[in-house]
A and B are shown apart, each in its own frame.
Chain A
Amino acid sequence: MNIEQILRNPQLRIGRNEELIASETYFKGRINFYVSENNEIAANSWAILYSIFNVQNNYIKIFELFELGEYYLAWCQLEGIEIAIKSILKHHKFIDDEYKILFIKEYVLKLQSLFPYKLFGSSELVKKEIRCSICDSIISLRNRCIHKKGELYMGEMCSFIVTKSEMVGMSLVNEPFNKYSVIGVTKKDDDTYKYPQIDFLMSIIDHPFTEWRTKDSKVLESHEKFNSGRNEECPCRSRKKYKKCCLKKDGIEFDHTEFILKYPTIKSQQNNTFSKNPTRLG
């Protein structure tokens, strides 16, 4: 199996589940082989390659989740990819982004910016007992096992597992550490959010590795389009009174996102949405 070829061309894996399973089995087999040979360096190298392979697969899966309307699940998976990439970058230096990990890192952030989530729950936890994921020892400040957090041991990354904790508070934040704690959604069935930017993106890109960017701006819509009274809420949804917001301007001001494709896609040509002017979503 040509692993280099597989890792360099993740896009060729899209929709090929049998090849995916075969590659996965191969990676696990190599790690297990080197662990059984007590060859820690080789086991760790294969573990990193396997991690790169998984990041690529999970990134591709994001777009499958978008198609299924599983936006919140995709959001959680994006966070998982973000964390995995940080671990990979700690152990692997890329020469020329040969495995598209830096591309994925950049596009994970771009995709996250298209979600409408603005408010997150923030739990405050006191960690009362922490154990090492490698040897299960209890860890304290001055008494530790030999394993270091974030390092690889026989292909397994050491992490600190909180085995006893106490919640001391809960607050609402705009910029959370854990992004999964979105207020108001836990799964597709209870999701009341709308995702117009993601839906629009999906209508213009051909595959997960299509290159695109967005440009945010403001557009003005004429006052005549809206029948708002001076003391009513402004149509721009600022929650201010109309007279204290857009009434003084030349028009009602709305956020506007332009999607700019680096190269024309089949979808954008079919929809006639690719031109010298960027594709727009008002």
Chain B
Amino acid sequence: MQLIITETDENITYWRERPYLNYNTKSLLDRVDVIIVPEENFRGHETPLFPSNMMELYDALKEHLNVEAAINDEDYREVSLNSKKHRIGKFVVVMLAAPLFVTVLGNYISERLKNEDPKDEIEVEIIVNGDNGKSKSIKYQGTARHFDKVAETVKDIVNGEHNEHRTDSAQSPASHRTK
């Protein structure tokens, strides 16, 4: 199992401003909770690509969340790799929707892999869009069974951010008072 957490600049604004998006798509990406983002420059391919079965996941997420993909409809392409690893995709999620997102994604993964070999690995990246501009990327590679670690990590990041806000707001008046 591999779980890597890093800071990233690839936040919602970054993905909304990609040069290959037209005006209509950019409008769709306004006020979404989740942006499904493509892999750019895969094997030098000019069009950004999404993993196989992304349309099913798009539908599943849409039942619960305000979700869109960072691609024009006519440019949507999936790449099929003949590898047993299940590539789930890459997502940018607003802080508030992140706990619900990981729950829905976890359910989708369990359902999709319920008749597969339990040793099968999944690969997923979730970017939690920070309210203050700082975003965190959580990259996971491992069995579906351990996806709960990703969910916990995402929830910890969200809670940490909230606590940070609470601490800041709690400290401010105090600091003013000491002055």
Residues of A near any B CB (own CB < 8 A):
85-86, 89-90, 109, 120-128, 130, 139-144, 148-149, 160, 162, 168-169, 173, 175-178, 181
Which interface residue of A109, A139, A141, A176 has the most chain B CB atoms within 10 A? A141
Cβ contact of B84, chosen from A130, A169, A177, cutoff 8 A:
A177
Counting CB contacts under 8 A, is B77 at the interface? yes
The distance from the CB of B89 to the nearest CB of chain A, in whole angstroms, is 12
Q: Note all chain B residues with C-beta closer than 8 A to A123.
A: 82
Contact B43 A169 (CB under 8 A): yes
Contact B77 A127 (CB under 8 A): yes
The distance from the CB of A145 to the nearest CB of chain B, in whole angstroms, is 12
If the complex has contacts A86-B115, A149-B56, are A124 and B77 also in contact, measured as CB distance less than 8 A? Answer: no
If the complex has contacts A126-B45, A141-B58, A149-B56, are A177 and B73 also in contact, measured as CB distance less than 8 A? Answer: no
The distance from the CB of A160 to the nearest CB of chain B, in whole angstroms, is 8
Q: Note all chain B residues with C-beta closer than 8 A to A168.
A: 42-43, 45, 79
A177 to B45, CA, bound (A): 22
A145 to B150, CA, bound (A): 34
Name B49-100 residues within 8 Å CB distance of A. Answer: 49, 52, 54-56, 58-59, 69, 71, 73-74, 76-85
- Number of chain B interface residues as a range: 20 to 34
The distance from the CB of A67 to the nearest CB of chain B, in whole angstroms, is 28
If the complex has contacts A141-B73, A168-B42, are A178 and B82 also in contact, measured as CB distance less than 8 A? Answer: yes
Q: Note all chain A residues with C-beta closer than 8 A to B83.
A: 122, 173, 175-177
A122 to B43, CA, bound (A): 14
- Closest-by-CB residue of A relative to B78 is A127
Q: Note all chain B residues with C-beta closer than 8 A to A126.
A: 45, 47, 49, 77-80
**Sampled A-B contacts (13; CB under 8 Å):** A89-B115, A90-B115, A127-B78, A140-B74, A141-B55, A141-B58, A141-B71, A144-B55, A169-B43, A173-B84, A175-B85, A176-B82, A176-B84
Q: Note all chain A residues with C-beta closer than 8 A to B117.
A: 109
Name B13-55 residues within 8 Å CB distance of A. Answer: 42-43, 45, 47, 49, 52, 54-55
A90 to B113, CA, bound (A): 11
If the complex has contacts A149-B56, A168-B42, are A140 and B76 also in contact, measured as CB distance less than 8 A? Answer: yes
> Contacts A126-B47, A168-B45 given; 14 further ones with Cβ under 8 A?
A85-B115, A86-B115, A89-B115, A122-B83, A124-B81, A125-B80, A127-B80, A128-B77, A140-B73, A141-B55, A142-B73, A168-B42, A173-B83, A181-B82
The distance from the CB of A235 to the nearest CB of chain B, in whole angstroms, is 32
Q: Note all chain A residues with C-beta closer than 8 A to B69.
A: 141
Contact A143 B80 (CB under 8 A): no
- Closest-by-CB residue of A relative to B42 is A168
Contact B82 A177 (CB under 8 A): yes
A128 to B47, CA, bound (A): 11
Contact A124 B76 (CB under 8 A): no
Contact A124 B73 (CB under 8 A): no
Cβ contact of A121, chosen from B59, B76, B77, B82, cutoff 8 A:
B82
Q: Note all chain A residues with C-beta closer than 8 A to B115.
A: 85-86, 89-90
Contact A125 B79 (CB under 8 A): yes
- Closest-by-CB residue of B relative to A142 is B73
Q: Note all chain A residues with C-beta closer than 8 A to B71.
A: 141
Contact B79 A124 (CB under 8 A): yes
Q: Note all chain B residues with C-beta closer than 8 A to A122.
A: 81-83
- Closest-by-CB residue of B relative to A90 is B115
Contact B49 A120 (CB under 8 A): no
A125 to B78, CA, bound (A): 8
Cβ contact of B43, chosen from A85, A120, A121, A124, cutoff 8 A:
A124
The distance from the CB of B111 to the nearest CB of chain A, in whole angstroms, is 10
The distance from the CB of A172 to the nearest CB of chain B, in whole angstroms, is 10
A144 to B45, CA, bound (A): 25
What 7 A-B pairs come out closest when comparing CB atoms? A122-B82, A175-B84, A141-B76, A168-B43, A142-B73, A125-B80, A127-B78
Q: Note all chain B residues with C-beta closer than 8 A to A141.
A: 54-55, 58, 69, 71, 73, 76
Which interface residue of B59, B74, B115 has the most chain A CB atoms within 10 A? B115
The distance from the CB of A170 to the nearest CB of chain B, in whole angstroms, is 9
